[in-house]
């Protein structure tokens, strides 16, 4: 029997990631219902990716009444993650929700409470964890090759990279701009490498210097022009996060900044034995992993060949992070493996990002209990 999936939100990430991954896993899973408030989008997905007889809905509450649906994918703008996920758990479904978990920590807490009551599985779409370079670095961290990681940088810097589809510049829909959108990936990776989910305090600063003011002819945005009159979120955010064990993480995130560097879903780690630089996605140094260590009494910087030979989850170059995400998720549902992205971990990411925004608003450090 195939797992029966309901898709809520049939836009960009559905088409870029989940629909191809679900199609590639067609022997294990089928899409039996689709929902979008723009119902033509749900119809298109039902026609092109749905099982025969795939149902179409405009309201997710109707989709959740379908008793045969076992798994719900929540692929809507951030603010809708909470009500849909909570209702899906109440309806007895497993939930894969896109990143970030929620638009704010209060919503994330509601989702965690509903998940715990449900006894179902819950994961968040942090697919960068399944990249070969990330998997290799995670293994090195687990094997103690870096020693204790006491200083890290989570990078999500785009020089120009404002998403111009959907509602990404709408604060009420998304909860924020580049920090919550792409900073979330970098912070998720960094906490995971450190295996440290105990933040003590956060100081954050956000800038709104360019998004509101740059007219289309001077934007230079590879993703097209945005409307400065409706740009409601930060252009860039920076944070200083101290952890309960005394270690430090800095975060940078931007969609628009006059920097010469581009570093997305990237992380730098400094440990007591060695250091690592995960260059992340985009730019000329795409998905490289460098290690700093002492060899033969000298300081060396080595580039790891993360593709050759593969690692556990990655037998070869052709494997996509999205396919591995899907496989890990279905394996966990079938009791054949553990989830890689655990809800508690994704919750901590949202808790820290929420504190960065609160600190930026108040000008004060946010201290966790």
Ligand X SMILES: NC(=O)c1ccc[n+]([C@@H]2O[C@H](COP(=O)([O-])OP(=O)(O)OC[C@H]3O[C@@H](n4cnc5c(N)ncnc54)[C@H](O)[C@@H]3O)[C@@H](O)[C@H]2O)c1
Report, in Å, the least distance between residue 60 CB and ligand X: 5
Residue placing its CB nearer to ligand X in the complex, 270 or 327? 327
From the CB of 62, what's the least distance to ligand X, in Å?
Answer: 11
Looking at the Cβ atoms of 13 and 29, the one nearer to ligand X is 13
* Helix, strand or coil, per DSSP, at residue 75: coil
Q: Which is nearer to ligand X, 90 or 303 (CB)?
A: 90
Residues near ligand X, by CB under 6 A: 8-14, 35-38, 41, 60, 75-78, 80, 98-99, 125, 127, 165-167, 181
CB 290 within 8 A of CB 303: yes
User: Which of 191, 134, 152 minimizes the C-alpha distance to 270?
Assistant: 152
- Residue 43 beta carbon to ligand X: minimum distance, rounded to whole angstroms: 12
The answer to whether 9 and 81 have CB atoms below 8 angstroms apart is no
Cβ-based nearer residue to ligand X, 140 or 180 = 180
Candidates 183, 100, 104; CA nearest to 358 is 104
DSSP 92: T
293 CB neighbour count, 10 Å cutoff: 16
Question: How are beta strands 298-304 and 366-367 bridged, if at all?
Answer: unpaired
CB nearer to ligand X: give 98 or 252: 98
CB of 167 vs ligand X, minimal distance in Å: 6
Q: How far is the CB of 35 from ligand X (least distance, A)?
A: 5
Q: What's the min distance (Å) between Cβ of 197 and ligand X?
A: 20
Q: Which residue is nearest to ligand X (CB)?
A: 11
* Residue whose CB is less far from ligand X, 135 or 203: 135
C-beta separation of 155 from 126 below 8 A: no
Show the tokens assigned to 29.
């899973």
User: Shortest approach of ligand X to residue 74 CB, angstroms?
Assistant: 8
Q: For residue 315, what are the β-bridge partners?
A: none
Minimum CB distance to ligand X smaller for 58 or for 198 = 58
Q: Least CB distance from residue 87 to ligand X, whole Å? A: 10
Q: SS3 of 327, please?
A: helix
Give kind and range of the element (H or E) at residue 42.
helix 39-49
Rounded to a whole number, what is the largest CA-CA distance in the chain? 67
* Cβ 166 to ligand X shortest distance, Å: 3
Q: Quick count: other Cβ atoms within 10 Å of Cβ 121?
A: 17
- Beta carbon nearer to ligand X, 9 or 280: 9
Question: Shortest gap between Cβ of 13 and ligand X (angstroms)?
Answer: 4
Q: Which is nearer to ligand X, 154 or 270 (CB)?
A: 154
Closest-CA residue to 146 (of 245, 293, 301): 293
What interhelical angle do 132-142 and 184-194 show, nearest 10? 30
Supply the DSSP string of 209-261, one letter for each residue. SSTTT--GGGT--TT----GGG--S-SEEEEEEEETTS-EEEEEEESB---S-
The verdict on whether omega for the bond into residue 363 sits within 30 degrees of 0, i.e. cis, is no
Contact partners, residue 102, CB within 8 Å, separation at least 6? 78, 81, 82, 108, 110, 111, 175, 350
Q: Which is nearer to ligand X, 99 or 131 (CB)?
A: 99
CA distance 79 to 95: 16
């Amino acid at each position: 029997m195939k797992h029966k999936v309901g898709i809520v939100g049939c836009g960009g990430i559905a088409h870029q990631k989940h629909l191809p991954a679900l199609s590639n896993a067609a022997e294990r899973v089928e899409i039996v219902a689709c929902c979008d408030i723009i119902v033509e989008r749900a119809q298109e997905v039902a026609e092109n990716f749905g099982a025969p007889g795939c149902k179409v809905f405009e309201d997710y509450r109707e989709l959740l009444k379908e008793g045969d649906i076992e798994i719900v994918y929540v692929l809507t703008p951030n603010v809708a993650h909470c009500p849909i996920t909570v209702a899906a758990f109440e309806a007895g479904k497993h939930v894969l929700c896109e990143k970030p978990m929620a638009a704010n920590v209060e919503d994330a807490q509601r989702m965690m409470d509903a998940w715990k009551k449900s006894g179902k599985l819950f994961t968040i779409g942090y697919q960068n964890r399944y990249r070969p370079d990330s998997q290799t670095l995670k293994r090195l961290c687990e094997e103690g090759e870096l020693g204790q990681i006491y200083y890290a940088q989570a990078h999500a810097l785009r020089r120009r990279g404002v998403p111009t589809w959907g509602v990404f510049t709408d604060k009420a829909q998304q909860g924020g701009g580049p920090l919550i959108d792409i900073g979330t990936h970098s912070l998720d990776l960094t906490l995971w490498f450190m295996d440290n989910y105990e933040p003590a305090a956060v100081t954050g600063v956000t800038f709104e210097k360019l998004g509101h003011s740059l007219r289309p002819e001077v934007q230079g945005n590879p993703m097209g022009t945005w409307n400065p009159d409706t740009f409601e979120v930060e252009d860039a955010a920076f944070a200083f996060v101290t952890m309960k064990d005394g270690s430090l993480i800095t975060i940078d995130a931007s969609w628009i900044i006059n920097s010469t560097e581009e570093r997305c879903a990237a992380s730098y780690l400094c440990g007591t034995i060695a250091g690592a630089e995960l260059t992340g996605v985009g730019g000329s140094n795409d998905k490289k992993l460098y290690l700093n260590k002492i060899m033969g009494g000298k300081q060396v910087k080595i580039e790891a060949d993360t593709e050759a030979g593969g690692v556990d989850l990655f037998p070869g170059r052709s494997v996509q992070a999205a396919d591995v995400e899907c496989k890990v998720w279905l394996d966990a549902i079938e009791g054949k493996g553990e989830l890689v992205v655990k809800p508690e971990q994704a919750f901590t990411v949202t808790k820290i990002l929420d504190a960065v925004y609160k600190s930026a608003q108040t000008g004060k450090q946010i201290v966790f209990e």
